[in-house]
Structure 1
Amino acid sequence: MEQRILWAGDSTVKKNTIETYPQTGIGQVLPLYLRPEIQILNYAENGRSTKSFIEEGRLDMIEREIKERDLLFIQFGHNDQKTDLERHTKPYGEYQVNLRKFIEVAKRKGAKPVLITSLYRRHFDENENLKDNVHEDYPDAMKDVAKVCGVACIDLCEKSKQLLQQYGDAKTKEWFMNLPGNRYQAYPDGLVDNTHLRYEGAVIMAGLVAEGLYELGGEYKNLLLNEDKKKVLL
């Protein structure tokens, strides 16, 4: 039986088209690290929080598709921070309630949920130190849910934070959608965006997800194409 990963999340993991090139989602390039028979069904969509994703019926779409032996990757937090009523959730309130809804859908169908904390936003201060706590309590709230519910969790937020700090402001700028004008058709005026990734950045961050799968071991580690090449060399 084939093994599949269904991915629920926001624009940082979404599969992009030529209309938003060179923006690239982590879920779009994770197959580079996986055995070729692993299939990814990417349900991530721009601007969605746990709340708006569920209210738009997207979790219902996953529930109709997901089946035994599938994995459900769940990555939210960026947009749960937003202040508008359509998306905002409190980290130790509705956010955790909603995460449990995703977990319950997976378990009910005999699938396994994997919680993944948000990609760290690239915000450096005037001394080129990465700003702290840009994701507030959402990563910790997700990790608490994983612990209480006994499900797998990859702390991409902490992994990406460490990597960004290691390589610094100038180097990491090119990983994100910081674009000059008159180079890309979709962005004629250029862009300053330290949340979304270009292709190289997405490949690097997907490598951190692959590293997380390796660390989880067992069936998660077995998803990887080559366990010795679970990260990109920078």
Structure 2
Amino acid sequence: MVLDRRTLLRAALGGAVVSAYGTEPALAGGRGNRRTVFVAGDSTAATYATADVPRAGWGQALPVFLRPDIAVENAALSGASSKSFADLGRLDLILAAIRPGDVLLISFGHNDEKAEDPARYTEPWTTFQDYLRLYLDGARARRARPILVTPVERRRFRTDGTPYLSHGEYPDSMRALAEATRTPLIDLTARSFALWSELGPEPTKDYFLWLDPGEMPNYPDGVADNTHFQAHGAIEVARLVAAAGAGIPGRDRRALHDPSIPDDVLAWPPTRPAES
């Protein structure tokens, strides 16, 4: 089954793949009157290009689980923290486009943890919450609905095969902020950790970007990445987000209950949209 998925993915190298579920990316300024889900996040959520296949982010896969009348604007940026995303003006771009009734999913933590990088680092109980409030307040000022999403858990297993958490106090900080500000929360940390724990060390390699040398043309030397996803993992993490996100409009229950969504349901644009 893994080989079948990757054979299909090779076809994506020639251009975008259009799925049976209609996952063509939404185009800024071309969404008409459709309600829009905006994604503010990091590389685990970002949309990747044909040169990155089969790497994918959960924001890239989110349209799989939404009806076609709902647009998705995935603004997630590789390497971003809650601080750097705002400082680079990326939050301002979202707030300029967001409209009443739209939804803003906010998911950071991976790069906020990098104490060696002052451009990205935030402290979990002070500056992390301060920056997240900019997203919450900005969305609400425009009568849009913010939803906090705790960071997806990495693939972390001890030598005896038991999993362990890797995000320190950042998920707890986001949970506390959600409660204090009465903001809906999707606890993706807990949900993804439960999934990785159930699957175990070896099966999770088919979710994360683990490839043997020569297996995929874009990674001729192979790769062993315990943070980022290949298509299958991105789809399943997007399923976790959509299933837990009661406030996300237009959830497609048929897709949510379909256990066999193929990896080639995703579309890879020619360039990474958030970096173009």
TM over 0.5: yes
Aligned to 2:168: 136
Residue in structure 2 matching 1:153, options 185, 195, 202: 185
Summarize deviations over 1:190-217 as a string: whole Å, max 9, x none: 111011001111111111111102xx3x
Aligned to 1:61: 93
Aligned to 2:139: 106
Cα separation, 1, equivalents of 2:141 and 2:74 = 20
Aligned to 1:225: 252
Aligned to 2:151: 118
Aligned to 1:23: 55
What's the % identity of the aligned pairs?
36
Aligned to 1:79: 111
Q: Which letter does structure 2 place at the counterpart of 1:24? A: A
By how many angstroms is 1:131 displaced?
1.6
By how many angstroms is 1:124 displaced?
0.5
Aligned to 1:35: 67
List runs of 5+ in structure 1 lacking aligned partners. none
Confirm or deny: 8 A CA contact 1:10 1:46 kept in the other structure: yes
Q: 1:231 to 1:119 in 2, by over 3 A?
A: farther
Q: Which letter does structure 2 place at the counterpart of 1:114? A: I
Q: Which letter does structure 2 place at the counterpart of 1:223? A: G
Cα separation, 2, equivalents of 1:231 and 1:137 = 32
Q: 1:222 to 1:57 in 2, by over 3 A?
A: closer
Q: Which letter does structure 2 place at the counterpart of 1:154? A: I
Paired residues, number:
227
Q: 1:140 to 1:154 in 2, by over 3 A?
A: same
By how many angstroms is 1:188 displaced?
2.0
Pick 1 or 2: higher relative contact order, CA cutoff 8 A, min separation 6: 2
Confirm or deny: 8 A CA contact 2:82 2:108 kept in the other structure: yes
Question: For 2:39, what is the secondary structure of its paired residue?
Answer: strand
Cα separation, 2, equivalents of 1:58 and 1:224 = 26
By how many angstroms is 1:186 displaced?
2.7
By how many angstroms is 1:231 displaced?
4.9
Q: Which letter does structure 1 place at the counterpart of 2:251? A: L
Q: 1:107 to 1:208 in 2, by over 3 A?
A: same
- Scaled by the length of structure 2, the TM-score of the pair is 0.79
Confirm or deny: 8 A CA contact 1:204 1:231 kept in the other structure: no
How much is the aligned-residue C-alpha RMSD, in angstroms?
1.4
Question: For 1:106, what is the secondary structure of its paired residue?
Answer: helix
Cα separation, 1, equivalents of 2:77 and 2:52 = 13
Summarize deviations over 1:50-99 as a string: whole Å, max 9, x none: 11101111011111111111100000000001121111100001000000
List runs of 5+ in structure 2 lacking aligned partners. 1-32, 261-276
Question: For 1:100, what is the secondary structure of its paired residue?
Answer: helix
Q: Which letter does structure 1 place at the counterpart of 2:127? A: E
Cα separation, 2, equivalents of 1:211 and 1:137 = 24
Confirm or deny: 8 A CA contact 1:79 1:87 kept in the other structure: yes
Residue in structure 2 matching 1:91, options 124, 132, 157: 124
Question: For 2:201, what is the secondary structure of its paired residue?
Answer: helix
Q: 1:231 to 1:158 in 2, by over 3 A?
A: farther
